Amino acid sequence: MAINPNTARNAMHTAVCMMTGAGKGIALNALGLIPDKYPVVIFDPHGEHNKIAGRRVYQYKTQRNFAKTFIKAWNSGRPFALGYCPDTKGRTEKESKQKLQNAAEWFAKLVWAAGDGNRVLYSVFEEYGEYCESTADDNTTIGKIWTGGRKFGLRGIAVFQRSATISKTIWGNSPRKVIGAQGYENDIARCVDAVGCSRADMVELAANNKALQMYHEGLDEMVRTKVHYLFSESVGVHEKVAAYVKPAANLRKKWNAEQRRLDKLGVYKLV
């Protein structure tokens, strides 16, 4: 169980919210959300993360192997990055979702048990919206991490596509929010309310992402070359930040004059 409560610790929970393709993975890797001096564990149902913030992520598919490695790594006192990528396939969609929720709860309980107010542990809940039970209070151990984990050194990061479909426990108890392009009006409204920006600021994110797209011949489609975010660390205060998409470095060399002008405007701080 969690030990050594320290009420002097700051609330550092984070919500990373944007529609698919708007740069959630880039945000995790580029915005400095997880300092490399701290350990991090990732609930990663789709196995997306083999690296996070420049660190290799060691992935495990079974509870036994993940727990064994996590306990050993945690007891070492050194930083590490581990991912739990469970098999949640079921015979029906309902069964698959239940297995996913069970796996997320098991992972969260392991994180909670490791909580120690003398140390810091980051836990990332990738695709949280897929196993969030409702938009009401999250009464699972994930919600417990958000409401009670601060004093035990636990810092949760929830990654999801739509703010309107996730628990108010996670949304309301995440003082840090990374907002990318949104796809629905009610999500835009919720983000505007949360970070104190304007609707125009929200629309601008998607517009800038699209304006800097380039054609990738190998994929035969348009791809992102730069992604834009609003980053808030307290209600009503936010800054505009952006990150280059590293695999698209060669495509940026082909930007036209208008794209180069947009890139150099300086409205968004490059990270």
Instruction: Residues 14-195: name the CATH superfamily.
Output: P-loop containing nucleotide triphosphate hydrolases (3.40.50.300)
Task: Specify the DSSP class assigned to residue 211.
Answer: H
CB 104 within 8 A of CB 142: yes
Facing residues of 159 across strands?
16
pLDDT of residue 73: 98
pLDDT digits (tens, 9 = 90+) for 33-90: 999 999 999 999 999 999 998 899 999 999 999 999 999 999 999 999 999 999 999 9
CB 178 within 8 A of CB 158: no
Which structure tokens are listed for 56? 């290799």
Residue 217 three-state SS: coil
pLDDT digits (tens, 9 = 90+) for 154-197: 999 999 999 999 999 999 999 999 999 999 999 999 999 999 99
Q: Give the domain ranges of the chain.
A: 14-195
pLDDT of residue 20: 87
CB 225 within 8 A of CB 214: yes
Q: Which residues contact 203 (CB under 8 A, 6 or more apart)?
A: 188
The type of residue at 151 is K
| Among 83, 85, 67, CA closest to 75 | 67
pLDDT digits (tens, 9 = 90+) for 247-260: 999 999 999 999 99
pLDDT of residue 173: 95
The type of residue at 53 is A
Q: Got the DSSP string for 130-156?
A: GT---SS---SHHHHHHHH-GGGTEEE
| Among 148, 142, 101, CA closest to 123 | 142
pLDDT of residue 250: 95
pLDDT of residue 53: 85
The type of residue at 145 is I
pLDDT digits (tens, 9 = 90+) for 12-22: 999 999 998 88
Q: Which residues contact 251 (CB under 8 A, 6 or more apart)?
A: 214, 216, 223, 225
When pLDDT is averaged across residues 88-117 and rounded to a whole number, the result is 96
Q: How far apart are CA 44 and CA 81, in angstroms?
A: 12
Q: Got the DSSP string for 153-184?
A: TEEEEEEES-GGGS-HHHHHT-SEEEE---SS
pLDDT digits (tens, 9 = 90+) for 110-119: 999 999 999 9
pLDDT of residue 242: 97
Q: Which residues contact 194 (CB under 8 A, 6 or more apart)?
A: 163, 171, 177, 179, 232, 235
